Amino acid sequence: MTVPRPRDLAVLLLASGDLLPRKRARDQQADRAGLDLKRRMLNHVAAADPEPEELDSTLADFIEELGPPSGPARALAVEFREEWQAACVTPDWTAHLLHEALAHEAPRAPEPKRKDRPGD
């Protein structure tokens, strides 16, 4: 079994649609802030493209770069590390994420409408 790279999981999570706010009848400012922080962390991991044994130091760098308060970033880092460990032993979950990413693929812009010119 091939061990996925942390970058691969970060990219799948970014594309999966899990970072979209849910429709709720309450103020979602805190939700959006948490999703933005998670998106930043996933982008950091994807850009760093660490070897599996360097994941912890990459996550620690992200936490340090953000500065205090570090609690939310630490919680997201622990969650990502656990998700990566799960991806390493559960290929079906990784396949599910890939399916989700493809399902949430950004819609393409419609083709511009051609104006009919006289004489065409």
**Between 22 and 90, where is the model more confident?**
90
Give the H/E segment covering residue 44. Answer: helix 29-48
Q: Convert the pLDDT of each residue in 18-70 to its tens digit.
A: 655 556 656 666 677 888 899 999 999 999 999 999 999 999 999 999 889 89
Between 49 and 96, where is the model more confident?
49
With tokens 């970058």, the residue in question is: 7
Could you give phi then psi for residue 70, rounded to 5 degrees? -95, -10
Residue tagged 């630490």 (tokens): 74
Structural domain spans, the chain: 6-21+28-103
* pLDDT recorded at residue 105: 60
